[in-house]
Structure 1
Amino acid sequence: MSDIQQQVQRAIDRMVESGAERGVQVAGYLHGEQLVDAVAGVADPATGRQVTPGTVFYNYSIGKAATATVAHVLAERGAFSYDTRVAELWPEFAAHGKGAVTVRHVLTHAAGVPGLPADTTVADLCDWDKMCAVLADAEPWWEPGTAVGYHGYTFGYLVGEIVRRATGKPISQVLREEVTGPLGVADELYFGMPAAEHGRLARLEDQEGAADMMAGMPADSPMFRAGPSATFPSAALGNRADILAADIPAGGKTSARAIARVYAALMGDVPGVRLISPERLREVTAVTAEGVDQVFGNPSSWGLGFSIGLPGVEEPVMSAFGMGGAGGSFAYGDTAGGLAFAVTKNRLTADFSAATQLIQIVSGH
């Protein structure tokens, strides 16, 4: 057992023993070779089922990495380019001045349609055609390409419908055929997870006080413009069978080792699997759009579908590209060091402190 594996195991054991976390997975690959594969705690407190390396967690937005990866694989094949106008593939999307929105704008959260209507229901989130019709008819918050704002839910439907229009297939099918199948993780990384597989999932739980924090937010918060509170990530939402079964590619149901393996493959480190060229990797991981986020108000830097940098690190790590998930999960690749890393967990916390601690052990950042 490597020293890093032992350090990670001790850290997550402490997190669980202290009550800070319920169940945790950590996976890391260095140049495609497994560096860390550690688990701790309970996947389902009701039954006592333990977390295993193959346990699948609904980790919300870390699944956006898989969504973006599908787009990059198709761009590599020539199905579209980053400068293809979305309306060339999806004519209805041109409504209300969105005709100039490109695939690049979508991938960098610059398309100008980050929000959902105030009357959007959880059932609506599970209705692909309805959500795409809403987005096609949406009025942009800003002139596309002139600002960035986190497209929390809408990113998944936008990329997913671009994929469907270009291939004739739902994005979940393309994910399996082109990414997770070749990587050997098709049974550990999903958008919509078949109901028959739900018994393998970790049960989510909210950190104590999370509901009170949400209730204390001002009614005019931009977050509420981005979507009604009923659609905000929570344990109740993420444990619903309809949400788990639906293709909602703004998030994903994944094990740590599966999503880390996707990052390893993007960097060209998985033998026998070439997802994208080294030239495309450089383009994907370069800062393409940055600025104050129009939804959350924080500074943000985006590559093509990935946030650039790491959480909780004072000096920006510009070689790191990844995605965090609501609740504190995080996954990324580091092109400078060849590290692919993921932490997944079932207690939804308000920050990335656990991920930051684990990243520091594994990467030295």
Structure 2
Amino acid sequence: MNGTVAKGFEPVAEAFRTLLEDGRETGASVAAYVGGELVVDLWGGWAGPGTPWQADTLATVFSAGKPVAALAVLKRVADGLIGLDEPVQSYWPAFQHEGGTVRHALAHQLGLPAVAEPLTAAEGLDWARCTGAIFGSPLEWEPGTAVGEHALTYGNILGAVLRGATGETVGDVVRGFGLDVHFGVPIGERGRCAELEHATPDWPREAVSGHGELWARALGNPAGLLDLAVLNGDAWRGGELPAVNLHATARGLAGVYHALPRLLPPELLAEALAPQAVGVDRLLEEDAVWTLGFRRDEDWVGMGGIGGSSAGGRLDDPDGYRMAYVTRRLADHERGNLIYDTLEACL
């Protein structure tokens, strides 16, 4: 384990070391800001066989990247180039369904959480092919009448709006944040990417099956996206599937939350963090509160990703914490939850 912790946050380092020593974690990083200061910046384990995790090692964070994709659109809302309540169709005419707005898309209310046409992993990483299949799918509900996490479709929908409005990709805008988070890792930087691993041989099947019918359809197509050959390949690391393939360091991802007041004007930031859709999430099959890109749990705002990475914090408090946990070992959220709990106990 390497890195630093500020005085008073030593228990976070002890908890992280325990995860590495007892084998629950094999390679990860954690970073946290409190009161505007970076108080935790740790990394440890292995980025791959025989390769130690470094301060700048990147890993895929899956859905923990959704708020970053949302921020790309919100940046252009702030610039006056996109309207929250404008129809998606006004920016992307291929969207033929009536009533769907950019606000619906940001808050997981658009009604397109699953792709109807069967796609391969390669087709899922082909922007035009995948986006066309998404917009050619029937609605699961009328926009704005229900909510359900758009597990794999979210980033392409937002990216289509962004491309139609400005000609930019989600990755283009995110690069302007000046943080170590990437939709589409540049060729010269891909050597920094950790080699992902499954915690158990059955993890990909368990991640897709047994969570409900809509979940299975939404996460199971495109097929094979959770195969290690895909996740550790150049197409995944260099392409844009912005619902799930953000590559980040923990310091970079926590830095996104730390930088929110810089990235968005106060009025828009307040609107973006306020509840937009409240009720039973049809994909998650549980009560959920969605904002414009984030999930709220009382005063915690952020997002977790399948596999164990997550980011968020107590954003309603300017002096509250902003934290990220980034891992290569695809399992559950027990590891990150331990670090969050330990950090909160320190506070």
Amino acid at match of 1:248: L
- Counterpart among 19, 25, 37 of residue 21 in structure 1: 25
Shift, 1:307, TM fit: 0.7
TM-aligned CA distance change 1:42 to 1:339, over 3 Å: same
Does the CA contact (< 8 Å) of 2:116 and 2:138 recur in 1? no
Instruction: Provide the C-alpha distance between the structure 2 equivalents of 1:212 and 1:262, rounded to a whole number of angstroms.
Output: 29
Which residue is equivalent to 1:249? 242
TM-aligned CA distance change 1:32 to 1:85, over 3 Å: same
Does 1:356 pair with 2:344?
no
Gaps of 5+ in 2: none
Which residue is equivalent to 2:290? 302
Matches within 5 A, 1:68-79: 68-79=70-81
TM-aligned CA distance change 1:338 to 1:226, over 3 Å: same
Does the CA contact (< 8 Å) of 1:5 and 1:36 recur in 2? yes
Shift, 1:319, TM fit: 2.4
Does the CA contact (< 8 Å) of 1:61 and 1:250 recur in 2? yes
Amino acid at match of 2:242: P
Which residue is equivalent to 1:171? 170
Aligned-residue identity in percent? 33
TM-aligned CA distance change 1:195 to 1:91, over 3 Å: same
Does the CA contact (< 8 Å) of 1:8 and 1:38 recur in 2? no
TM-score using structure 2 length: 0.91
Does 1:192 pair with 2:222?
no
Does 1:283 pair with 2:271?
yes
TM-score using structure 1 length: 0.87
Instruction: Provide the C-alpha distance between the structure 2 equivalents of 1:284 and 1:137, rounded to a whole number of angstroms.
Output: 28
Q: Secondary structure at the match of 2:39?
A: strand
Instruction: Provide the C-alpha distance between the structure 2 equivalents of 1:110 and 1:154, rounded to a whole number of angstroms.
Output: 12
Q: Secondary structure at the match of 2:40?
A: strand
- Superposed structure 1 runs of 4+ greater than 6 Å apart: none
TM-aligned CA distance change 1:77 to 1:220, over 3 Å: closer
What's the CA shift string for 1:153-212, capped at 9, x where partnerless?
A: 1100001111111111222112113x2x3xxx2xx3111112332211111111125348
Q: Secondary structure at the match of 1:10?
A: helix
Matches within 5 A, 1:296-335: 296-309=284-297, 318-335=298-315
Gaps of 5+ in 1: 269-273, 310-317
Matches within 5 A, 1:69-108: 69-93=71-95, 95=96, 98-108=97-107
Instruction: Provide the C-alpha distance between the structure 2 equivalents of 1:114 and 1:345, rounded to a whole number of angstroms.
Output: 26
Amino acid at match of 1:328: G
TM-aligned CA distance change 1:212 to 1:190, over 3 Å: closer
Amino acid at match of 2:340: I
Shift, 1:234, TM fit: 5.0
TM-aligned CA distance change 1:218 to 1:262, over 3 Å: closer
Instruction: Provide the C-alpha distance between the structure 2 equivalents of 1:53 and 1:119, rounded to a whole number of angstroms.
Output: 39
Amino acid at match of 1:125: G
Shift, 1:232, TM fit: 4.8
Does the CA contact (< 8 Å) of 1:29 and 1:260 recur in 2? yes
Does the CA contact (< 8 Å) of 2:27 and 2:327 recur in 1? yes
- Counterpart among 6, 21, 28 of residue 10 in structure 2: 6
What's the CA shift string for 1:21-73, capped at 9, x where partnerless?
A: 1011010112332111011211112xx22112211011111111210111111
Amino acid at match of 2:324: A
Instruction: Provide the C-alpha distance between the structure 2 equivalents of 1:234 and 1:307, rounded to a whole number of angstroms.
Output: 27
Which residue is equivalent to 1:345? 327
Q: Secondary structure at the match of 1:224?
A: helix
What's the CA shift string for 1:239-267, capped at 9, x where partnerless?
A: 1221111111112000000011111111x
Does 1:54 pair with 2:56?
yes
Instruction: Provide the C-alpha distance between the structure 2 equivalents of 1:216 and 1:324, rounded to a whole number of angstroms.
Output: 16
Aligned residues: 338
Does the CA contact (< 8 Å) of 2:209 and 2:216 recur in 1? no
Does 1:238 pair with 2:231?
yes
Q: Secondary structure at the match of 2:65?
A: helix
Instruction: Provide the C-alpha distance between the structure 2 equivalents of 1:255 and 1:347, rounded to a whole number of angstroms.
Output: 14
Q: Secondary structure at the match of 2:255?
A: helix
Shift, 1:338, TM fit: 3.0
Root-mean-square deviation (Å): 2.1
- Counterpart among 181, 193, 198 of residue 201 in structure 1: 193
Q: Secondary structure at the match of 2:171?
A: helix
Shift, 1:9, TM fit: 1.5
Amino acid at match of 1:360: D
Does the CA contact (< 8 Å) of 2:87 and 2:101 recur in 1? yes
Does the CA contact (< 8 Å) of 2:109 and 2:144 recur in 1? yes
Does the CA contact (< 8 Å) of 2:30 and 2:250 recur in 1? yes
Q: Secondary structure at the match of 1:290?
A: strand
